[in-house]
Structure 1
Amino acid sequence: MNDTNASPPNPAPRQRPRKVWPWVLALSLLSCCGFNVFAVVAPSYKAAQLDRAQLDLKNLRRVLVHYRSKTGRYPTREEGLQALVASGLINGSVPLDPWTRPYGYSVEGDSVELWSLGPDGRRGCECDDLVEGYPETRRPPCTAPVHAR
């Protein structure tokens, strides 16, 4: 038997095509904002690393002067900064510089020199090398071009 009153099956409701352009616009705006934040934060992060290294060097110099007042001498080159840990003047271990390298140390008679090689990790008259000494160390001014700093 053929049922003529039966309605044909309902087709699936027609889906509207999704608009992609709002998502593209939103992602573009977020990317621009992210780039601007990075452009502002990156230079201040480098400056913060340099500031932290300079502060570490000043603190290590103070501890070395204190070590000398207690022992009558600076640690030898062989003892290095580990002598500060062994004497109990530094708890734990000698800090690393912000670029995860050990601070350098040298001693000659009554003068000591501490340094960090900076972000590039190379020693020389680099504008990013940090040096702290006792008595005060005077380094020649950096002659690198301004764009290299």
Structure 2
Amino acid sequence: MNASSDEPPPSRRSPVLFVGLVFGLGLVVAVLVGALSGSKAVHADRIHQDLALLEEALGRYRADKGTLPEDADVEELLVPAYLPSVPLDPWGRPYRYTSNGEEVFLSTFGKSGDRGGSGEEQDHTNHDGHAVPKGAPERM
């Protein structure tokens, strides 16, 4: 008997190989998508922890001073009396601050720094309805 007669004909090997390749590719894509979406969730959690921390410190500032300035450099307001340092957003930029004297509005415009977008480009504010992560200070 010939050694080559023990191998299955090519027509039987091809579908198995094809299914294996498709399955492997699907698995790689699923892992990559999961890793990328997990990174976005980590950024959102960090942003909202930072916003809650800033909001809490600004609440203490308002309790001491009686009001909040409409526009100001948050670092000048809070460091060192209320915070040792002011956190930056995940892309290294300061959070934006405005106030009407009573309410605080804090925001970041995402990775691009431009208003609007989705994913890492998404805007985040202390009033956008995101849950404050566990361990973050209570909102004002």
Q: TM-score range by the shorter chain?
A: 0.5 to 0.7
Q: Does the alignment pair 1:90 with 2:78? A: no
Paired with 1:43 and 1:118, the residues of 2 have a C-alpha distance of: 15
Q: Percentage identity across aligned positions?
A: 34
Paired with 2:128 and 2:91, the residues of 1 have a C-alpha distance of: 24
CA deviations on 1:28-71 (whole Å, 9 max, x unpaired) are xxxx7876643321110111101110111111111111111122
Unaligned runs of 5+ in 1: 1-31, 140-149
Paired with 1:83 and 1:104, the residues of 2 have a C-alpha distance of: 13
The corresponding residue for 2:107 is 115
Structure number with bigger Rg: 1
More helix per residue: 1 or 2?
2
**Mapped contact 1:82–1:94 kept (Cα < 8 A):** no
Paired with 2:73 and 2:86, the residues of 1 have a C-alpha distance of: 12
Paired with 2:76 and 2:96, the residues of 1 have a C-alpha distance of: 12
**Mapped contact 2:74–2:86 kept (Cα < 8 A):** no
Q: Higher relative contact order at CA 8 Å, sep ≥6: structure 1 or structure 2?
A: 2
The corresponding residue for 1:71 is 65
CA deviations on 1:100-143 (whole Å, 9 max, x unpaired) are 1110001222122110112232124x4521111xxxx468xxxx
Instruction: Report the 3-state secondary structure (helix = DSSP H, G, I; strand = E; otherwise coil) of the residue aligned with 1:106.
Output: strand
The corresponding residue for 1:10 is none
State the superposition RMSD in angstroms.
2.7
Instruction: Report the 3-state secondary structure (helix = DSSP H, G, I; strand = E; otherwise coil) of the residue aligned with 1:47.
Output: helix
Paired with 2:57 and 2:35, the residues of 1 have a C-alpha distance of: 33
What TM-score do the two structures reach when normalised by structure 1?
0.57
What TM-score do the two structures reach when normalised by structure 2?
0.60
In the TM superposition, residue 81 of structure 1 has moved relative to its aligned partner by 3.7
The match for 2:91 among 95, 99, 106 is 99
Aligned length: 103
Unaligned runs of 5+ in 2: 1-24, 130-140
